[in-house]
């Protein structure tokens, strides 16, 4: 799955539109980067940019932005209300999807190295990228701001982590690092600003002071009144939504409001959010209310409704959820064909798509039919006695079907690496060795794709057996076809493993793979027979 990183660089320029736009243009024109927001402030004399992309792209985007700032911002003449010590003041990298905090810390270091070498500018590492504990918190790193920086850099303890040790007057210094995604979140209160602030003091981590901390960790907040909404709000920053998720804050506000005999009227998310944060909320309400919801879009809808995210403005998931904003259509030319088109492609005078793609498609049809029968059984009044069985197995079959569909296209590209090796030169012994290594790696890739199809299909059997045992009898033939299709799909993938593994030189690898593949093929025959035997009794 695609790795998504958010980058939120803050630049010490909030008044000159030409400079602000030039930096935005540099980010926007970087391949692989999506610029989500540009937020300038005249009094702070600062602009915050938000963009996302894959790891390599966000590094390039951040360097491109720094390149413009180096040319157009002069810290010697900068004054503003916000603390600052550099033209690019801070540049945090934030994990959004399929990437760890450790990887983002490494991205920050790669960025600092690349920018410092190209632009001759210094960097401190902070937050999760910090290599010294005393440099972890931004206020400590930025103490004294730009005006104190020249003297501070003379202290060996404050030698930059990257770039020149000498003071660069026009630039200052940049703090770069990795941190959790910050969610700006407001809960609407049908009360006064004083009541909202009282709730915020009870909940925020700092509370009312060291002797009276609040209930929730990693939360900053206050209360205010919003004239345009004619409501008060508990306004918070969730610094780590894994520590205090959105729904935990929302439910805590409801508890505090109930104690004050005032009402909560929904909430709003300011800016954008990771999908995970809303799925966490949905899963909480699904468990709390014993609901049966397994599809992502329905989970998102549930979170929106339970949190009241449409209360003051329409919450459009396509505009507010990062993963949806940057989503690209999957490159699945075969899976996106019509059924007729796919069969005609198989029938054409070409070697691909062939048996591997057909096997993946058949396995997907098998799990899909099982999913269909389970869904046609669940929720029907006369099958209420078996509802728990359907609830347990529908998500499994539904998800496996989704995972098997991309394998249709994966199989067609399985031999690309092998063919690249086949075309490599072999005039010298070194070239022959490199060519052989490439071809062997390619064969392993060609094996792992159908093996992956087998593994996915193998996970479906227990669920399919339960569907056969408890599913709607009127769909008996559908389950029968599903079992046969799944068995055939696994068998076909197995044949693709066998035909490629014979040329593998690594005997240990060959033994290990064959042992696993043989076991799955045997199990598919046994489980298919079990499904059909169950259905024969109906």
Are residues 85 and 133 part of one domain?
Answer: yes
CA dist., res. 308 & res. 301, Å (int) = 10
CATH number of domain containing 227: 3.30.70.670
Instruction: Report the length, in residues, of the chain.
Output: 538
On whether residue 306 sits in a domain, the answer given is: yes
CA dist., res. 482 & res. 487, Å (int) = 9
On whether residue 331 sits in a domain, the answer given is: no
Are residues 365 and 227 part of one domain?
Answer: no
On whether residue 330 sits in a domain, the answer given is: no
Mean pLDDT for back-to-back runs of 10 residues, the chain (538 residues): 90 95 97 91 88 95 97 94 92 93 97 97 96 92 94 95 96 96 93 96 94 94 91 93 97 97 94 93 97 96 98 92 85 92 92 90 98 96 94 97 95 79 90 91 91 98 97 96 98 95 93 97 98 94
Are residues 420 and 480 part of one domain?
Answer: yes
Domain ends where: 163, 178, 193? 178
pLDDT at site 42:
84
- Quote the number of domains for the chain: 3
The pair of three-digit structure tokens given for residue 132, joined into one six-digit string: 């010294």
pLDDT at site 418:
80
Extended strands (E) in 331-452: none
Domain ends where: 157, 178, 199? 178
Are residues 211 and 154 part of one domain?
Answer: no
On whether residue 333 sits in a domain, the answer given is: no
Strand partners, 53: 5, 33
CATH number of domain containing 439: 1.20.120.680
On whether residue 450 sits in a domain, the answer given is: yes
H or E segment and range at residue 40: strand 33-41
pLDDT at site 1:
67
The 10 Å Cβ neighbour count of residue 324 is 14
Are residues 526 and 383 part of one domain?
Answer: yes
Task: Tell me the catalytic residues.
Answer: 82, 411
The pair of three-digit structure tokens given for residue 112, joined into one six-digit string: 């600092």
pLDDT at site 458:
98
On whether residue 205 sits in a domain, the answer given is: yes
Map residue 390 onto helix, strand or coil. helix
The 10 Å Cβ neighbour count of residue 347 is 8
Which domain range does residue 195 map to? 183-325
Strand partners, 237: 184, 220
Are residues 105 and 134 part of one domain?
Answer: yes
The pair of three-digit structure tokens given for residue 357, joined into one six-digit string: 């793609």
On whether residue 187 sits in a domain, the answer given is: yes
Peptide bond just before 353 cis, omega within 30 deg: yes
On whether residue 463 sits in a domain, the answer given is: yes
pLDDT at site 259:
97
Question: Rounded to a whole number, what is the distance in angstroms from the first to the last CA of the chain?
Answer: 42
Strand partners, 190: 263
Domain ends where: 178, 212, 237? 178
Backbone angles phi, psi at 265, to 5 degrees: -120, 60
Are residues 190 and 169 part of one domain?
Answer: no
CA dist., res. 19 & res. 389, Å (int) = 61
Are residues 501 and 390 part of one domain?
Answer: yes
Are residues 170 and 306 part of one domain?
Answer: no
pTM, rounded to two decimals: 0.81
Are residues 192 and 165 part of one domain?
Answer: no
Are residues 359 and 379 part of one domain?
Answer: yes
CATH number of domain containing 97: 3.30.990.10
Are residues 152 and 19 part of one domain?
Answer: yes
Strand partners, 267: 187
The 10 Å Cβ neighbour count of residue 28 is 16
CA dist., res. 160 & res. 130, Å (int) = 11
CA dist., res. 204 & res. 214, Å (int) = 5
């Amino acid at each position: 799955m695609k790795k998504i990183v958010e980058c939120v660089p803050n630049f010490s320029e909030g008044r000159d539109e030409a400079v602000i736009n030039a930096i935005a243009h540099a980010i926007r024109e970087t391949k692989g980067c999506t610029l989500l927001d540009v937020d300038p402030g005249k009094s702070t004399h600062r602009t915050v940019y938000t963009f996302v992309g894959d790891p390599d792209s966000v590094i390039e985007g951040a360097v491109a932005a720094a390149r413009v700032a180096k040319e157009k911002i002069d810290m010697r003449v900068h004054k503003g209300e916000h603390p600052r010590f550099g033209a690019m003041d801070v540049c945090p990298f934030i994990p959004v999807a399929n990437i760890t905090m450790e990887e983002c810390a490494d991205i920050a270091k790669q960025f600092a190295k690349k920018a410092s070498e190209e632009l001759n500018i210094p960097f401190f590492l902070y937050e999760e990228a910090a290599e010294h504990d005393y440099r972890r918190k931004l206020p400590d790193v930025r103490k004294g701001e730009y005006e104190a920086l020249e003297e501070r850099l003379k202290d060996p303890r404050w030698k930059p982590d990257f770039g020149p040790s000498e003071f660069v007057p026009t630039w200052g210094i940049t703090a770069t690092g990795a941190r959790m995604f910050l969610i700006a979140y407001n809960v609407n209160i049908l009360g006064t600003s004083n009541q909202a602030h009282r709730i915020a003091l009870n909940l925020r981590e700092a509370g009312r002071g060291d002797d009276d901390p609040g209930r929730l960790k990693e939360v900053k907040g206050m209360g205010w009144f919003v004239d345009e909404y004619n409501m008060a709000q508990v306004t918070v920053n969730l610094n780590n939504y894994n520590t205090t998720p959105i729904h935990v804050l929302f439910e805590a506000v409801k508890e505090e409001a109930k104690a004050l005999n005032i009402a909560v009227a929904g909430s709003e998310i300011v800016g954008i959010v990771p999908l995970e944060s809303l799925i966490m909320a949905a899963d909480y309400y699904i468990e709390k209310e014993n609901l049966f919801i397994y599809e992502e879009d329905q989970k998102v809808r549930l979170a929106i409704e339970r949190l009241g995210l449409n209360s003051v403005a329409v919450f459009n998931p396509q505009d507010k959820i990062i993963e949806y904003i940057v989503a690209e259509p999957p490159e699945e030319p075969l899976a996106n064909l019509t059924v007729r088109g796919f069969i005609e492609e198989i029938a054409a005078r070409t070697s691909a798509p062939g048996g591997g793609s057909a096997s993946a498609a058949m396995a997907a049809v098998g799990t899909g039919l099982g999913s269909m029968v389970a869904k046609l059984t669940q929720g029907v009044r006369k099958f209420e006695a078996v509802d728990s069985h359907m609830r347990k197995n529908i998500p499994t079959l539904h998800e496996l079907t989704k995972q098997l569909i991309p394998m249709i296209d994966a199989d067609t590209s399985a031999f690309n690496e092998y063919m690249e090796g086949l075309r490599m030169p072999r005039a010298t012994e070194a070239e022959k060795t490199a060519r052989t290594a490439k071809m062997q790696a390619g064969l392993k890739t060609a094996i792992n794709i159908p093996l992956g199809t087998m593994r996915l299909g193998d996970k479906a059997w227990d669920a399919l057996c339960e569907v056969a045992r408890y599913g709607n009898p009127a769909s008996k033939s559908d389950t029968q076809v599903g079992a046969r299709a799944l068995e055939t799909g696994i068998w076909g993938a197995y044949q693709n493993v066998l035909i490629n593994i014979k040329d593998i030189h690594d005997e240990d690898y060959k033994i290990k793979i064959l042992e696993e593949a043989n076991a799955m093929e045997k199990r598919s025959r046994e489980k298919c027979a079990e499904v059909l035997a169950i259905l024969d009794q109906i």
